[in-house]
Structure 1
Amino acid sequence: MPDYPANNPAGRVRNQPENNQRESSKPSFWDERYRAHERLFGEAPDPFLADALRQLPRAPSVIDVGGGDGRNTLAEVAACEGTLTVLDFATSALDTAAACAAQEQLPFAALHADVRAWQPRKTYDAAVIAFVQLLPAERKQMYKCLRKAVRPGGHIIGLWFRGDHANDAYDRIGPSKPDRYVVPGELQEAFARDTIRQCAAVDRRVQQGPVLRGHAALIQLHAIREA
């Protein structure tokens, strides 16, 4: 699958069914939200993701999977003089990411695709995924794609809501359905062949713009892909 500019109509989503889906699983839902809010999820990266990105070698190639407008990767990848690809199915988010990358003079590619249909065609030094809500079978496929997307020795960096978040002790942000939560065991199994630097259940505050903020039950992953 080639990398398309964010404004290239040839880069329209493929294999993206619009029927029989909840609204929040459709590109049109997210396009409207990104158009209605300037930097929908804010501009600052999540601190865990930012710290993990600072551990990359100089001038890395990074793909941000389901990365929206690139809020979690743009600044850190620019700081280490890397190159960034953002994959998302919302064209308005990719347009914002491209504009921000241009301001940072960051080499950038927009990959307009649905994460559920994406198959990596090239490898990167790191793959980042944050707060992407998938069903169990979709997550299993995604973990395979993340491994396929990074070279041996490359970094897989992920952040999700875990099952405990459904408890009343946490703020009502994130998934509304229990099958969208990630459990540590599935990550340990998916990346069993790799070196796991961190796979930790963490309770902390999330603050990503006006939409995604509050006390949350999270799971943080930083793995190094083995051959």
Structure 2
Amino acid sequence: MLAHAKLCAFKSLTLQLRHYVAADVWRTELDSSSWNQKYAAEELLYGETPNEFLADMITVLPSDSKIFVPGDGEGRNGVWLAQKGFQVTTVDSSETGVAKAKALASRKGVSLDQQLGDLTNWSYPQAEFDGAVLIYLHLPASIRAQVHQNIAKAIKPGGVLILECFHPDQLSRTSGGPKNIEMLYTSELLRSDFAGLLVPHFEFEGEVQLQEGTGHSGVGVVTRLVARRMA
């Protein structure tokens, strides 16, 4: 009830903002070739429907705003945002994932900028996007903080970051996520990564029911964050 109340309060507050952020899809220590193998099946590993937390937070995103979705995998979140009228840019390192994402966009009749690229050396713009969405973007500890900071800097002042990832308590569960505890995030860790760039407005750590294709299925322990880019 408390977490729900905080989320409702945040939605009310952020409706007054002019610029917002969004991002989606979890990644692990596997390289692009391993992700190509995981995405090889005809069906989408995480399904076609958007992440539930992202869908719940759609009201904080102004219509026709520019949204950055790094690590969008097979495209479910980026394509859904484009269907909602947003100007979407996605980046993913898997050739197979990007190809399937483009095919999904074609089936849904939407256009978005779907790029193949490595988030460790991608040319991040500065203060370009109204929002960024990070859904299960799990990165090795050696690059995590720098990538997070680059993403935050790509958001305009006043823009919003929407993030969901697996918590360290997910490690022993079979419902999805990396099996490397250094790639699982707490709220405290995320606050540290984004310090001086983003101001948290909503944080949550706890269990949720996952129904995202065969890749995320069952009860999972997640960390959620909604934060605003500092001026």
| TM bucket normalised to smaller | 0.7 to 0.9
Of residues 182, 186, 194, the one that matches 1:183 is 186
1:1-227 paired onto structure 2 within 5 Å: 25-79=30-84, 81-121=85-125, 123-167=128-172, 170-193=173-196, 194-227=198-231
SS in 1 for 2:219: strand
Gap runs ≥5 in structure 1:
1-22
Cα deviation code 1:43-72 (max 9, x no counterpart):
111110112233200101112111112212
Q: How many corresponding residue pairs?
A: 202
Distance, in Å, in 2 between the alignment partners of 1:53 and 1:82 is 11
Q: CA RMSD in A?
A: 2.0
Distance, in Å, in 2 between the alignment partners of 1:187 and 1:24 is 18
Asked which structure has the greater RCO (Cα within 8 Å, sep 6+), the reply is 2
Distance, in Å, in 1 between the alignment partners of 2:160 and 2:82 is 13
Q: Calculate percent identity across the aligned residue pairs.
A: 26
Distance, in Å, in 2 between the alignment partners of 1:37 and 1:210 is 13
| Post-superposition offset of 1:156 | 1.1
CA contact (8 A) 1:78 1:106 kept: yes
CA contact (8 A) 1:203 1:217 kept: yes
| Post-superposition offset of 1:147 | 0.9
Under a length normalisation based on structure 1, what TM-score does the superposition of the two structures give? 0.81
SS in 2 for 1:132: coil
Distance, in Å, in 1 between the alignment partners of 2:180 and 2:140 is 10
CA contact (8 A) 1:155 1:224 kept: yes
| Post-superposition offset of 1:140 | 0.7
SS in 1 for 2:76: coil
Gap runs ≥5 in structure 2:
1-27
| Post-superposition offset of 1:105 | 3.7
Distance, in Å, in 2 between the alignment partners of 1:154 and 1:111 is 22
SS in 1 for 2:120: coil
